[in-house]
Structure 1
């Protein structure tokens, strides 16, 4: 009976990608001439696991490619070959290649083998493979061909719980077969009666006879994952085995055991793979699993237990006659229920929280590769790696962060000669820092480079028609211009930056997460990009406001302040836009009842309230009838459940069952026309009139 292993494909892919991440991290720590054996062994084990798993599942393109790089790693760890920078570079490229191969297989597509074949040729050139012993009698390959072939007897008796640990003896048999000529015998004398048979227990044991040039250590590595879950004995037999010898030897060593040949010929690994794989991989999907610490699960169980107790108490009170005493107990029970529900909500949200190290881990490789291309020396510092945020936010913030880091490497940091010329250390520093601030997470991308060139930015902005020649802007306002669509100060297009796209997309993507990004810079000192994000996309801290008979929610992260309007500081701009002079700024006033077409709202400015909000470094005032409470709300997507509505980012259901819309500040500014050409000129004109009066 063939075994359907398709149910394990996703586990294989997940573990393989984790193995590649581990390989990459350890390779980046390698310094040729200073490497330690444990690091090399970690890299080897990761490659070995990927090769074994892919071979078992019939993913030959992966197993064949991994085999040749595993050979190089094996020689390095055995001291037969010295590690070089060329080896590290080649192994890092192989990690990328394996990711591509596995991604294609996961998507049920035919993998592109062009890069894999090119890299394999480079490995084979290093190893001297493909040359005959006659052509190169002194090569290490020739030495291996002349190596002594020995026969090993391998007795493998798994404990009954082996299957429950996720291990499969068939994988090990397949890997043994790759080491040489293998003969297999199975013992089934421990299989109980059908009434006592448990499907997920292992009652079989095996005896193998293996002709191989490999050392015993290589054989033991195949079983290292199950060494605590089995009895294993490996004995060197000496001469080569024959079929009769092994069968007779097995019987003499254990005459009572029911050992039967598993095959009359050495195992064919391709046949093994065909026997266990009965389907093609399932279509690739986004990761639907998440690893959760047992402490978080225990906390949830405790919270549910408290909730059950409270529910039982309320049920008992509901069955009693209503008296003053029961009313007091009922109020106490409802308060306890609210407390338990809030605790349960917080603990459930913690389930989705992961350390930002999952994002940070991709940057050491990125910095290494780009700094080599740019011929710059760069040190990457990672701070706050254990700061947690929602898994969904983490997945979506990765690409914007990559662009910002690339920008720091390309535009921010100087070359070695430039840094030495101004008295700086030749090694530039890029720092990634993450920390919690209130209900948000703050991520900083800092460099100690030359800072933003405000003169060059302003010249480019004028040339692109973004600002006028006579406009007076502060340095901070000039720096904000880099987030304008199509803006770039690069003199030439490269594969790193300078295509005139990117920073505006970065800001837009961050805003889609209800976050913000800003930049600060000092000439000759460096630049800092600061990203502020909510910890989760599922829950929002909001301010409830009343407009006519409707309730809206404004994200607290966007609110600067709320105030009553001094009518003497208001000026009309154009036909229908009012501007409030607030300290040294001029704030456009948006009437929500006009934008959303509501009747019955308060229209007199000095009898309303103004909520000042900020987005894209632009402040506006939202006119509302009243401020209600602040509370956390669960966000529901309008686009998924209804349709996209301009100026609205989502909706929620209030405690009384009513639906309340969540205002999208950036979309509201766009909807109001404040970003249209000429709108800022009207505001500037109003500023001049107010100052003159």
Structure 2
């Protein structure tokens, strides 16, 4: 494998791992913050934070990102002192640690984007504070406490094991700039290397020797209290191209069999060590075709409680064994596309079966189609579930945003997350982050009052922002709620009139009024801040959610608060659509985009000079868009009273799409048109129907733009024709 290919693969793994590590780190740090006074609860959490930071350091060091490695090492030193109880955590120290986490997240983000080391971080305030904590601890600690006690140098009789590691690195490892001895230094932090043997058998003759190749392999015996999987994590970025394995060889190194080993044991071993049964009891029980625990209880060798305790110990020892594998998202996308093809093929087979003249054969074909459909649906659900990730992937990062901005704006705000386990398609998760960030920033800047103002209004001085996710009616809902001052209805109306968006005497519903804040450039902010209030943001939110085939609604009450409710499809690959016709051509529109369908009356349609045709819908004029005119379809029904209207909302305005007929609701596989046709105006893509025909998928916002464009062109032609006459 070429060195640059290996380097690229390492960096890809690095990017995936760092994101997970940083998310876990922030979650554990928040737990520390919430339980800072409970010392008994803190110990395992500090150990977990240390493990994550140590893994991040190893990741950076593997790719020779030395500046980042130096910074993370300083953080690790603070955690080492906290873990060894030489440094007592408090809110001030935690604040420094959070500051360090912020630097690490920004730094690792830069590393991933630029694929090169960050600039020196030793001059940063966070680095100086970390070093200050370590130096302060050294001055306060007695000399004997300076030396870190290795986990393997515990008194005899405590739990540890011996493992033999066989390590054969990829021959191109040196060309990536990686020092193989670095891994051995990392291993020493988990235990003692009892022996190390280098094998030189693979070294070729001098005329075939390549100085850039690594020919040496190693055998290590490691004495440790850690699970071997933890040590294997040291090699996470190189093990895919290397041969690295381990074997438990504790039996060779026990001191006359007297030392106790309490991890990674079989049930019988655990019970023997606890003195509950003899080795002979276990052998006799093992010869019977029953579970060992049941046999020993029946023979009254042990109590059920003894077995349960041993099983718990066994379960704890197995917790760290990995049960998942990483899969490239492109492979999952490919599987989703193939399932989509299966859906289309099954639909076509069902259509063809209708043409079979032999009724017996036709019934058999129908039965097999139903069976195939069930299998495809099950396959589709299972594959789609592999693409689903919990909302917490996005939600968890807002703790940092709220903490930073509330401190910056001198506001006391608590963030509450609900429904983090709710799953969304990975593509949606990636695209919903920015809209949610806009909403949270706006809530902090515009929605939440300062403590003094809240006290004066009889409210809790500590404000609340809640992010909530849940599934309902085949869709995912995300709510962003604040308990601030709510939207100012009258001020929004005033701004809308000033900008010519609404008429002074126009009767509008609350939904229509509050939707104005999502018009491009609309803002009621009295002053501009560097948090929000620049007149951009919420229109971007609406556009982004529209691109996800979603909807956003607003609920607000003065001095009580505001909730933004986002509705999203479960996946972008397969959507719920409404199938309709214009002439002989079939089209699909996302079901979430349609407010209602009605059959119009001739008297409800009127023409306004210079503005076009409108349709009266419960006293409100909707712009009427005749799809046969926009798409130039000649065989369509041009009589509105014999047609159907689809009412939709685009940028807070209502439109009525005139179509010939509605076929019905249908799940469709969304196919992009960009690769073959470029940007096709008016459409989000296309799908293949059961009869093999292609149905374009209408995107309401793009269709409105196309309508306005064609209307202007038609109007200009009309004016030119009049002028020539």
Shorter-chain-normalised TM-score: which range?
A: 0.7 to 0.9
Residue 483 of structure 1 corresponds to which residue in structure 2? Answer: 518
Residue 100 of structure 1 corresponds to which residue in structure 2? Answer: 106
5 Å matches for 1:278-357? 288-289=328-329, 325-357=360-392
Deviations 1:518-572 (A, max 9, x none): 2121101111101111111111211221112211112211222222222223222
Looking at structure 1, the residues matched to 618 and 420 of structure 2 have their Cα atoms a distance apart, in angstroms, of 40
Residue 16 of structure 2 corresponds to which residue in structure 1? Answer: 14
5 Å matches for 1:169-184? 172-175=183-186
The alignment partner of 2:89 has SS state of: coil
Residue 65 of structure 2 corresponds to which residue in structure 1? Answer: 59
Kept in 2, the 8 Å contact 1:28–1:365? The answer is: no
Looking at structure 2, the residues matched to 186 and 600 of structure 1 have their Cα atoms a distance apart, in angstroms, of 83
Among 110, 120, 124, the residue aligned to 2:127: 120
Residue 225 of structure 1 corresponds to which residue in structure 2? Answer: 230
CA change 1:76–1:572 in 2 (3 A) is: same
Residue 79 of structure 1 corresponds to which residue in structure 2? Answer: 85
Deviations 1:635-656 (A, max 9, x none): 1112232121222111111222
5 Å matches for 1:351-500? 351-467=386-502, 473-500=508-535
CA change 1:574–1:149 in 2 (3 A) is: closer
Deviations 1:387-435 (A, max 9, x none): 2221101110111011101111221122222111111122222121222
Looking at structure 1, the residues matched to 403 and 11 of structure 2 have their Cα atoms a distance apart, in angstroms, of 32
Deviations 1:213-268 (A, max 9, x none): xxx9xx756967249953469999xxxxxxxxxxxxxxxxxxxxxxxxxxxxxxxx
Looking at structure 2, the residues matched to 161 and 371 of structure 1 have their Cα atoms a distance apart, in angstroms, of 50
Kept in 2, the 8 Å contact 1:558–1:613? The answer is: yes
Deviations 1:116-170 (A, max 9, x none): 53132222223228xxxxxx9955497767999999799953277999xxxx996
The alignment partner of 1:451 has SS state of: coil
C-alpha deviation, 1:675, in angstroms: 13
Among 629, 637, 643, the residue aligned to 2:664: 629
How many residue pairs get aligned? The number is 580
Residue 96 of structure 2 corresponds to which residue in structure 1? Answer: 90
Kept in 2, the 8 Å contact 1:26–1:43? The answer is: yes
Structural RMSD (CA): 4.4
The alignment partner of 1:128 has SS state of: helix
C-alpha deviation, 1:86, in angstroms: 2.9
Query: Mind listing any 5+ residue stretches in structure 2 that lack a counterpart?
Result: 155-159, 170-178, 203-215, 233-245, 256-325, 713-725
The alignment partner of 1:496 has SS state of: coil
Kept in 2, the 8 Å contact 1:127–1:141? The answer is: no
C-alpha deviation, 1:619, in angstroms: 2.4
Looking at structure 2, the residues matched to 114 and 498 of structure 1 have their Cα atoms a distance apart, in angstroms, of 34
Looking at structure 2, the residues matched to 431 and 554 of structure 1 have their Cα atoms a distance apart, in angstroms, of 33
Deviations 1:156-215 (A, max 9, x none): 53277999xxxx9966512256899999631879x9xxxxxxxxxx9964358xxxxxxx
CA change 1:73–1:2 in 2 (3 A) is: farther
Looking at structure 2, the residues matched to 145 and 522 of structure 1 have their Cα atoms a distance apart, in angstroms, of 59
Residue 650 of structure 1 corresponds to which residue in structure 2? Answer: 685
Looking at structure 2, the residues matched to 333 and 138 of structure 1 have their Cα atoms a distance apart, in angstroms, of 79
Kept in 1, the 8 Å contact 2:413–2:462? The answer is: yes
The alignment partner of 2:123 has SS state of: helix
CA change 1:287–1:513 in 2 (3 A) is: farther
Residue 698 of structure 2 corresponds to which residue in structure 1? Answer: 663
Kept in 1, the 8 Å contact 2:467–2:480? The answer is: yes
CA change 1:224–1:171 in 2 (3 A) is: farther
The alignment partner of 1:620 has SS state of: strand
Kept in 2, the 8 Å contact 1:516–1:615? The answer is: no
Among 63, 70, 79, the residue aligned to 2:76: 70
Looking at structure 2, the residues matched to 83 and 53 of structure 1 have their Cα atoms a distance apart, in angstroms, of 26
5 Å matches for 1:542-561? 542-561=577-596
Looking at structure 1, the residues matched to 699 and 531 of structure 2 have their Cα atoms a distance apart, in angstroms, of 33
Looking at structure 1, the residues matched to 459 and 231 of structure 2 have their Cα atoms a distance apart, in angstroms, of 54
Looking at structure 1, the residues matched to 217 and 143 of structure 2 have their Cα atoms a distance apart, in angstroms, of 43
The alignment's TM-score, normalised by the length of structure 2, stands at 0.70
Looking at structure 2, the residues matched to 141 and 149 of structure 1 have their Cα atoms a distance apart, in angstroms, of 18
CA change 1:61–1:222 in 2 (3 A) is: farther
Residue 252 of structure 1 corresponds to which residue in structure 2? Answer: none
Deviations 1:368-394 (A, max 9, x none): 222222222222222222222211011
CA change 1:30–1:82 in 2 (3 A) is: same
C-alpha deviation, 1:5, in angstroms: 6.5
